[in-house]
Structure 1
Amino acid sequence: MSQDSPAPVVERVDARHRYTIQVDGEPAGFTVYRDRDGQRVFYHTEIDDAFAGRGLASILVTAALDDVRASGMRIVPVCPYVAKYLKKHDEFSDITDPVTAEVLQWLQGDRA
């Protein structure tokens, strides 16, 4: 991205249970979640290959986790990228819950 490019835009799309990121009005990626008992369970994050290498996944997940904190919910990082991100960003440790067998079973049933 050049310095003249507008900043990426992250939006929560409740109807699709995801946060999206756009660059110059183009969809660049998303992270998908399901809500359960005050927890936002993130289970998949994807950035389009055309936008790879720009740090967009980090921008997307940062905005999503900031939104979770603002909503008073907790994070469950089933998604490998979100889990990796949280290991490097302990500022979210106070609102992060572990991935349990119960959560995984619920998630599989919820998406079936």
Structure 2
Amino acid sequence: MSEDVSRRTDPDRFEITTDGQVAGFTQFVEKGDQRIFFHTEIGEEFGGRGLASTLVAAALEATRADGMRIVPVCPYVKKYLGTHHEVDDLVDPVTPDALAAVPKG
């Protein structure tokens, strides 16, 4: 099985593909120097393979490479950060301003 993570726009997100099929994504919005991650989703047919972890790890490393900070609004991203401390130095707290930047609906 071949997996690849890439950044997409409109909407801003990182997608993970497996054998050429989109398996899931983690969506974000940028505000200043922050990348606010607010939703992560893996298709049911791709569940149980650790793809969400692979996806989020790559997205957070790309965020570091882009010189951005991380705001974990998404419950999965928050959970991931609780057990993976490689980017602790980049994590900002969730604030009312960050929540206001998240698209509604």
TM range (shorter): over 0.9
- TM-score, normalised relative to structure 1: 0.89
Question: What 5-or-longer segments of structure 2 have no aligned partner?
Answer: none
Partner of 1:54: 49
Q: Quote the Cα distance in structure 1 between the aligned partners of 2:85 and 2:34.
A: 18
- What is the CA deviation profile of residues 5-28 of structure 1, one whole-angstrom value per residue up to 9, with x for unaligned ones? 22x110000232000011100110
Identity rate of aligned residues, in percent? 50
Q: Quote the Cα distance in structure 1 between the aligned partners of 2:96 and 2:43.
A: 30
Q: Quote the Cα distance in structure 2 between the aligned partners of 1:15 and 1:71.
A: 18
- Residue 84 (str. 1) matches residue 75 (str. 2): no
- TM-score, normalised relative to structure 2: 0.94
Partner of 1:75: 70
Q: Displacement, 1:101?
A: 1.6
Which sits farther off after the overlay, 98-107 or 19-28? 98-107
Q: Displacement, 1:106?
A: 2.8
Q: Displacement, 1:102?
A: 1.9
- What is the CA deviation profile of residues 31-83 of structure 1, one whole-angstrom value per residue up to 9, with x for unaligned ones? 00000011000000000000000000000000000000000000000000000
The secondary structure found in structure 2 opposite 1:90 is coil
